[in-house]
Amino acid sequence: MRRKGIALVGLGLAVRPHALSLMDLSAEAEVLYAVSQSQARCAAFAADYPFPTATDLEKALTDERVEAVILLTPPSTHRDLGSRILESGRHLLIEKPVGLVTADAEALQALAEARGLKLGVVFQHRFRPAFLRLAELVAEGSLGPLAAGHCRVPWWRPQSYYDEPGRGMFARDGGGVLLTQAIHTLDLLRALVGRIDIHSSLVSTTALHEMEAEDHVAALATFGGRAPGTIMATTACYPGFPETIDLVFATATAHLEGGVLNLFRHDGSSETVGRSQAFGSGADPMAFAHDAHRALITDFLRAIDEDRAPAVSGADIVATRRLIDAMFARSISKGIAP
> pLDDT (tens digit, 9 = 90+) per residue, 85-119?
999 999 999 999 999 999 999 999 999 999 999 99
What tens digit of pLDDT does each residue of 125-177 get?
999 999 999 999 999 999 999 999 999 999 999 999 999 998 999 998 999 99
What tens digit of pLDDT does each residue of 306-319 get?
999 999 999 999 99
DSSP state of 133: H
Q: How far apart are CA 162 and CA 157, in angstroms?
A: 8
Residue 186: strand, helix, or coil: helix
What tens digit of pLDDT does each residue of 154-168 get?
999 999 999 999 899
DSSP state of 88: T
DSSP 292-327: HHHHHHHHHHHHHHHTS--SSBHHHHHHHHHHHHHH
| Mean predicted confidence (pLDDT) in 264-285 | 80
Asked if 231 and 149 count as a contact pair (C-beta separation under 8 A), the reply is: no
**Residue 283 confidence (pLDDT) above 70:** no
β 66-71/4-9 pair status: parallel
Q: How far apart are CA 2 and CA 91, in angstroms?
A: 15
Domains and CATH numbers, the chain: 4-124+292-313 (3.40.50.720), 126-284+319-329 (3.30.360.10)
What tens digit of pLDDT does each residue of 22-58 get?
999 999 999 999 999 999 999 999 999 999 999 999 9
Q: How far apart are CA 238 and CA 287, in angstroms?
A: 16
**CA nearest neighbour of 122 among 255, 270, 320, 334:** 320
Q: How far apart are CA 23 and CA 50, in angstroms?
A: 8
Asked if 228 and 248 count as a contact pair (C-beta separation under 8 A), the reply is: no
CA distances from 245 to 229, 261, 305 (A): 10, 9, 34
pLDDT value of residue 263: 98
Name the burial class of residue 289, with classes exposed (0-12), middle (13-18) and buried (19+) by CB atoms within 10 angstroms of its CB: middle
Residue 23: Cβ within 10 Å count = 15
Edge to edge, what strands does the sheet with 216-223 contain?
Answer: 196-204, 216-223, 227-234, 146-154, 244-249, 252-257, 260-265, 270-274
pLDDT value of residue 289: 85
Q: How far apart are CA 228 and CA 243, in angstroms?
A: 19
Residue 28: strand, helix, or coil: coil
Q: How far apart are CA 302 and CA 165, in angstroms?
A: 38
| Mean predicted confidence (pLDDT) in 219-230 | 97
**Residue 18 confidence (pLDDT) above 80:** yes
| Mean predicted confidence (pLDDT) in 237-257 | 97
Question: From its phi and psi, is residue 51 left (phi > 0), alpha (psi between -120 and 50) or beta?
Answer: beta
